[in-house]
Amino acid sequence: MLLPEGGTSDQVAFQDVYGSCWIGRKECLRPSQGRQIGLHSPYWRTTGFPCCAPSRRLPERRQELGKLAPPVTFAQSLAIILKILSMIYKMVQNNTYATKRDIYYSDTLLFGNQSVVDSIVNDISCMLKIPRRSLHILSTTKGCIAGNLSYTEEDGTKVNCTCSATAVTVPSNVQGIKNVITNAKFILIVEKDATFQRLLDDDFCNKLSPCIMITGKGVPDLNTRLLVRKLWDTFHIPIFTLMDADPHGIEIMSIYKYGSVSMSFEAHHLTVPAIRWLGLLPSDIERLNIRKDALIPLTKQDQNKLASMQKRLYVACQPMWKKEMAIMATSKMKAEIQALTSLSSDYLSRVYLPNKLQFGGWI
């Protein structure tokens, strides 16, 4: 968008397609003649109002999102936002759904990059102060669930995880499921798919007591987090996490329990503060006398991440978390859940988890 020297504009527009998502009247602050004004331009002053959570206007987010795609003009940015809003309107009117990937492929030349679509969808959700699913935009599911659980999907499909010998994919429209039934005594969130499959092979869901197992296969997707929250709201049974004893595992557990920065504006729909850390605890490494050759030294990046996490406010409110993280920082060693196989091949399902659950070995 080209503006002459001293020109003004009273267009209603969105500022910063990648970030703060302000909306309101814009006033140009005397840009130089013929200068191209984009959404990130410092010459724009907003007299409107912010619609996002403060965390979405952090400098770190701007730096991160600034790398997602080449700079675009104001007109291009507005065209992208209006295109997505138009698609949302049609889906709501017709009661249909689409994934962010579907939206991107509807006009790849306009969007240019999947990350642009992802960011704008989040910003629209934040701006309108409604969950993304209310925009009829669904996330692609990667999480799996198994154990004592049955439910009916929105289209009438009945799913019975109890009778299935394999894991069931987390539904893409979690809010649409109904008739949710379980006799489970607890829910176990497993960080890694490999560990999840091993517990499934050992029939862990039925051996100790009826339970539900869920894995997000690493960092959980939106649907997996929604399902965990829905199960908590419905049944209020204990929820435990089984993570690697490393900074990355603690980070993933924190996402389930406290949320993530990128989705902070929707945290009250996605988090379960009652989640407990069952294992693998750094203190378990010494207590179980796990062999040194089964441990992995913390990298410099691990140490920096751990030090950063120790400064977080929610960690300050968790003295047991602080103690475990201090043990890791002092030992400068980390351990994957698979390190328990150094004790015996089925130690995790036969000894470790039953003892932890029976004697309250969680924090």
* Selected catalytic residue, list 105, 151, 256, 347: 105
CB 214 within 8 A of CB 182: no
Q: What is the C-alpha to C-alpha distance for residues 270 and 224, in angstroms, rounded to an integer?
A: 9
Q: What is the C-alpha to C-alpha distance for residues 37 and 271, in angstroms, rounded to an integer?
A: 39
Contacts of 123 (CB under 8 A, 6+ apart): 14, 17, 19, 21, 52, 56
Strand order in the sheet with 150-152: 158-160, 150-152, 178-181
Integer CA distances (angstroms), 58 to 20, 87, 120, in order: 8, 29, 16
| Secondary structure E strands in the chain | 12-15, 22-28, 44-46, 98-99, 137-138, 144-147, 150-152, 158-160, 168-169, 178-181, 186-190, 211-215, 239-242, 276-279, 296-297, 333-334
Q: Is 105 a catalytic residue?
A: yes
Q: At what angle do helices 247-258 and 319-331 cross, to 10 degrees?
A: 160
- Supply 304's token pair: 């920096």
Among residues 246, 176, 190, which one has the least CA distance to residue 218? 190
The residue with tokens 């197992």 is 213
Report, as residue numbers or ranges, the catalytic residues.
Answer: 105
